[in-house]
Amino acid sequence: MRWLRCLTTSFLTVCLLAVLTAPSGADEKKADPKDDPHAKHNKAIYDLLRTVINKGADLYNPPVNDHYGCYRLYEGALLAVEPGLEHKPELQKIVREALVKANMPNLRDFEKAFVLRDAIDRVRKDLNPSPTVEATLWDRLGGEANVKKVVDDFVGLAATDPKVNFFRTEENKKAFLADAKKVEALKSGLVDFVSTATGGPRKYNGPSMKAVHKGMKITDAEFDALAADLKKALEKNGAKADDVKAVLTAVGGTRKDIVEGPEEVVKPKTLWEKLGGEENVKKVVDDLVALAAEDKDVNFFRTEEMKKAVTAAKVDALKKSLVDFISEATGGPRKYTGPKMKDVHKGMKITDKEFDALAKDLKMALEKHGAKADDVKAVLAAVEGTRKDIVEKEEAVIDNPDKGSVSGKVALKGEPVVDGKISLVPAKGAAVNGKIDAEGKFKFAEVPVGSYTVVVEAKGVPEEFTDAKKSPLKLDVKKGANAADFELK
């Protein structure tokens, strides 16, 4: 959306600049000296500002509701127009003052758009080659006298419309109707609001629509009923169909500030947020690397050659990867895109003892930077899940000619069977039992040579594969390494 908005703004600005800087043509040289020498120049600005208004209305009104985009479009147009108004110093002043006012930090986007739209209207009114042709929507509605009648009828309709639920409670109704000043203040505010939205002279200076209606829990259905009552009041007081539609479109732009959806569910903090987010996790990682590098039990560098080869760039890359890894493991926004833990640590022959020492250093770094006990425990649990990919178990050497090792995968309909049990059941003797890991893999270090029926027990596995008497899975174990993948159907 923003790139489209910027493209539109840039296009219109270029058009304006092209007009303002274009050299006079042959027709202008032949013009009657009595004519206004700026007439064509003024009309070009007038016409282009009409295009700006139309584009701004498309952005401001539903379904786009982009008040910021409308404001920036108007701003770009006025910045382009201002230099071309040297022959109209009073208009230059109006434009400059509007641009300054619109940049005040206390104004909301829709208010900024109103300020700049007012300046555009004043420029166009002054430059209008046919001043009697156009009338504002405010004028077409009959001006202040008739809009007051519309508001009187509108409030009367809405106050008695059960679909609007105007007063919300009986207590509010009694208090409101008993105070004539409140009724008049409401009507006056509504007239001001309609005036501001339709190009009238009165300006709405009250609180934002969001602030006024906060906590009232107005629904879309109630908003629609209110709009229907406004339509009736407008039609009763002579508003034409197109003008009614224009007013309702402007009112529709306030829906998002008036209608309150269901209470927003407060999401619990992620572990990443509990750890202090990116800034604090970076500190944890800095301390972890420093501690591990000096910890003999971790054996961080593995060899002297590896230690000497370490550079500042490599250390920074390592720290970045660790922050990314912790972020992904704790619900943070940064994603780990590096190689798998198994691939990173392959061949390093890291032991369980060294893994435990590193986890201890991580615990110290977390506690140093304010992590609570439960959060430390949660991080260490996540790290523990990587143990199987980091620690390398020494392969059992099979010297016994009567035994072999077996490793493989188990899948069901193309998907890994996870966290289950696998058994090799011989015709005679005891079964050999093992576990299936989270990736569907299993491994037996020593299995007597012979023929087996394979039994798989895990969630979702059909019953026939869980019973040694029924299972169709067979395996012949030979001396040495045996690979066996099983696809269950």
At CA 409, angle to CA 407 and CA 410, rounded to 5?
A: 130
DSSP string computed for 204-220:
--S--HHHHHTTS-B-H
In the chain, the number of structural domains is 4
Over residues 197-232, the pLDDT tens digits come to 888 888 888 888 888 888 888 998 999 999 999 999
* Whether residue 236 sits in one domain with residue 190: yes
pLDDT given at position 396 = 44
Q: Is the dihedral of CA 61, 65, 67, 72 positive or negative?
A: negative
For residue 146, being part of any structural domain is answered with yes
Over residues 135-176, the pLDDT tens digits come to 789 989 988 989 999 999 999 998 899 998 988 888 888 888
For residue 37, being part of any structural domain is answered with yes
Last residue of a domain, one of 236, 258, 280: 258
β-bridge partners, 179: none
* Whether residue 152 sits in one domain with residue 96: no
For residue 266, being part of any structural domain is answered with no
* Whether residue 141 sits in one domain with residue 115: no
Provide the CATH number for the domain around residue 336: 1.10.490.10
Cβ contacts of 302-307, under 8 Å, gap ≥ 24: 302/348
For residue 395, being part of any structural domain is answered with no
- DSSP letter for 36, please: -
Distance CA 107, CA 110 (A): 8
* Whether residue 427 sits in one domain with residue 479: yes
For residue 305, being part of any structural domain is answered with yes
Residues in the chain: 489
pLDDT given at position 66 = 87
Q: Which two tokens stand for residue 432?
A: 């050999």
Contact 74, 52 (CB under 8 A): yes
Distance CA 379, CA 326 (A): 8
pLDDT given at position 3 = 38
Q: Which two tokens stand for residue 321?
A: 């990867």
For residue 397, being part of any structural domain is answered with no
Contact 197, 189 (CB under 8 A): no
pLDDT given at position 266 = 60
| Below-50 pLDDT ranges, the chain | 1-11, 14, 17, 21, 23-34, 133, 395-398
- DSSP letter for 406, please: E
pLDDT given at position 284 = 93
Residue pointed to by tokens 């207590």: 171
* Whether residue 118 sits in one domain with residue 86: yes
* Whether residue 253 sits in one domain with residue 181: yes
* Whether residue 61 sits in one domain with residue 40: yes
Contact 369, 284 (CB under 8 A): yes
- Output the pTM of the full model: 0.34
Peptide bond into 426 cis (omega under 30): no
Last residue of a domain, one of 331, 360, 389: 389
* Whether residue 234 sits in one domain with residue 147: yes
- DSSP letter for 459, please: T
Q: 123: closest CA among 103, 98, 95?
A: 95
Q: 123: closest CA among 68, 72, 79, 71?
A: 79
**Can you tell me whether residue 204 is helix, strand or coil?**
coil
For residue 265, being part of any structural domain is answered with no
**Can you tell me whether residue 43 is helix, strand or coil?**
helix
Last residue of a domain, one of 92, 127, 162: 127
* Whether residue 378 sits in one domain with residue 407: no
Range of the domain at 453: 403-488
Q: Which two tokens stand for residue 216?
A: 């009232």
DSSP string computed for 134-198:
---HHHHTTHHHHHHHHHHHHHHHHHT-TTTTSSSSHHHHHHHHT-HHHHHHHHHHHHHHHHHHH
Range list of H helices, 330-432: 341-345, 352-368, 373-384, 387-390
Phi-psi region of 335 (alpha: psi -120 to 50; beta: other; left: phi over 0): beta
Distance CA 4, CA 296 (A): 58
* Whether residue 25 sits in one domain with residue 61: yes
Q: Which two tokens stand for residue 295?
A: 């910890």
Question: What count of other Cβ atoms lies within 10 Å of the Cβ of residue 221?
Answer: 12
Phi then psi for residue 475, to 5 deg, are -150, 130
Contact 66, 60 (CB under 8 A): yes
For residue 263, being part of any structural domain is answered with no
* Whether residue 372 sits in one domain with residue 307: yes
Q: What is the CA radius of gyration of the chain?
A: 38
* Whether residue 89 sits in one domain with residue 144: no
